[in-house]
């Protein structure tokens, strides 16, 4: 593949409602969209999941834009890459900046699949036509509001719910949701909000209210604390932020620090590594599932294609488009189908197209890079 032109758009899209986690509230998603045009004239698009501020991880829209324009796009416009995996190999020496790398890697995957006239799912080796999904529910103004919110998602058809928790928003909301919905498949995610000393109390409420898994309760580097919590066995311990590459996964698996793995392509540098991580987890009998970062339809389409691979076995954090945004930037917004699933697009590449007018409306800035400039 030879990239001839790269277009980097910064968008701002209002969320249908604010999304609150232990690290902050997001009302409008700021994001980068990268469009790569190949020699063939085909285009591939990738979404960067870095948020406006570096709260989930050290990356932000500004660091990702800088990394792309200084280090990732120039070689891509100068030299050919054989495959998306080849791009991963060539950029391995550059430390960190996984979200910036992932945006380029995923745009390359879309381009690669389109140049082969095949769907991204098929190119990745995915076999499912539909993928099972759940919904991630932010911290709400009150426990009553949370129970109503969960109720409306169950009415929509979601079979699995993940509650965002933090110290002071855990036992009561989890108890109330469990009382209202005794059979619900219930997960929680703390985004590193607890000190290791909270392990005893987390284990008590998680067991008592039959929480199936607790995601990333402790700090990114607190593998030992996660290992300790994972010894109880009444619920799974899921890692998200702690797993940034194959080495960190192998170490955590070796130490039995996890019993579920959230795989976000943005966090680990793209789809090539995501597929490898899910395979490694499966070999250790740890279920993997595709996580989300409030993506638009572009990142959602990449996530759905990834989730169509057999190595993923738990429901993804990839909900219907309208759970996130009033207006989508793709032509065929994702809708929830039977049995809490999203359909895997079957057209070339990610199988959905950008709606140029919607992108233009959301665009805050654009920069174009051409191979002739390098």
Residue ranges binding Mg ion (CB under 5 A): 189, 215, 240
Catalytic residue among 27, 101, 162, 164: 164
Q: Alpha carbon 356 to chain centroid distance?
A: 24
Q: What is the largest CA-CA distance in the chain?
A: 63
Q: In what order do the strands lie in the sheet with 24-38?
A: 43-48, 24-38, 3-21, 363-370
Which range, of 79-87, 223-231, 287-295, 350-358, touches ligand OSB by CB under 6 A? 287-295
- Packing angle between helix 223-230 and helix 246-254, nearest 10 degrees? 40
47, 240, 276, 353: which one binds ligand OSB (CB under 6 A)? 240
State yes or no: residue 317 binds ligand OSB (CB under 6 A): yes
By a kind-dependent CB cut-off of 5 to 8 A, residue 59 interacts, out of ligand OSB, Mg ion, none, with none
- Would residue 264 show up in a list of annotated catalytic residues for this protein? yes
Q: DSSP assignment of 81-105, as one string?
A: -SSHHHHHHHHTTS-S-HHHHHHHH
By a kind-dependent CB cut-off of 5 to 8 A, residue 317 interacts, out of ligand OSB, Mg ion, none, with ligand OSB
b/e burial code for range 104-134 (CB count within 10 A of at least 16 → b): bbbbbbbbbbbbeeebbbbbbebebebbbbb
98, 119, 121, 136: which one binds ligand OSB (CB under 6 A)? 136
Q: Give 123 or 306: the residue with its C-beta nearer to ligand OSB.
A: 306
State yes or no: residue 258 binds ligand OSB (CB under 6 A): no
Site for ligand OSB in 65-124 (CB under 6 A): none
**Do 62 and 29 contact (CB within 8 A), yes or no?**
no
Element (H, E) at 274: helix 271-283
Smallest separation, CB 320 to ligand OSB (Å): 10
Binding site for ligand OSB (CB under 6 A): 56, 136, 189, 191, 240, 291-294, 317, 319
Annotated active-site positions, please?
A: 164, 264
């Amino acid at each position: 593949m030879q990239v001839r032109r790269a277009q980097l758009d910064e968008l701002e899209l209002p969320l249908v409602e604010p999304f609150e986690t232990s690290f902050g509230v997001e009302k409008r998603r700021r994001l980068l969209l990268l469009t790569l045009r190949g020699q063939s004239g085909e285009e591939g698009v990738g979404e960067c999941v870095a948020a406006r501020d570096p709260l989930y991880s050290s990356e932000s829209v500004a660091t990702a834009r800088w990394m792309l324009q200084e280090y990732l796009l120039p070689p891509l416009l100068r030299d050919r890459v054989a495959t998306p995996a080849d791009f991963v190999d060539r950029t391995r020496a550059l430390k960190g900046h996984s979200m910036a790398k992932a945006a380029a890697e995923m745009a390359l995957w879309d381009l690669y699949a389109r140049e082969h006239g095949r769907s991204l799912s098929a190119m990745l080796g995915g076999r499912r036509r539909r993928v099972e999904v759940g919904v991630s529910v932010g911290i709400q103004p009150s426990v009553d509001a949370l129970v109503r919110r969960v109720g409306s998602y169950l009415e929509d058809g979601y079979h699995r719910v993940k509650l965002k928790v933090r110290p002071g928003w855990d036992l009561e909301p989890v108890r109330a949701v469990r009382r209202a919905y005794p059979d619900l498949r219930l997960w929680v995610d703390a985004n590193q909000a607890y000190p290791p000393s909270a392990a005893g109390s987390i284990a008590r409420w998680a067991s008592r209210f039959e929480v199936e898994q607790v995601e990333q309760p402790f700090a990114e580097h607190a593998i030992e604390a996660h290992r300790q919590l994972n010894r109880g066995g009444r619920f799974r311990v899921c890692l998200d932020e702690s797993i940034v590459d194959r080495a960190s996964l192998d170490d955590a698996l070796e130490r039995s620090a996890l019993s579920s793995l959230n795989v976000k392509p943005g966090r680990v540098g793209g789809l090539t590594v995501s597929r490898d991580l899910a395979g490694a987890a499966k070999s250790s009998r740890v279920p993997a599932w595709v996580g989300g970062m409030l993506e638009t339809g572009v990142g959602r389409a990449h996530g759905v294609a990834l989730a169509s691979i057999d190595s993923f076995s738990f429901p993804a954090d990839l909900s219907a488009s309208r759970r996130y945004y009033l207006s989508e930037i793709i032509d065929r917004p994702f809708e929830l189908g039977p049995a809490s699933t999203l359909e895997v697009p079957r057209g070339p590449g990610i199988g959905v197209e950008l709606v140029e007018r919607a992108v233009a409306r959301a665009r805050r800035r654009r920069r174009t890079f051409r191979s002739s400039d390098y």
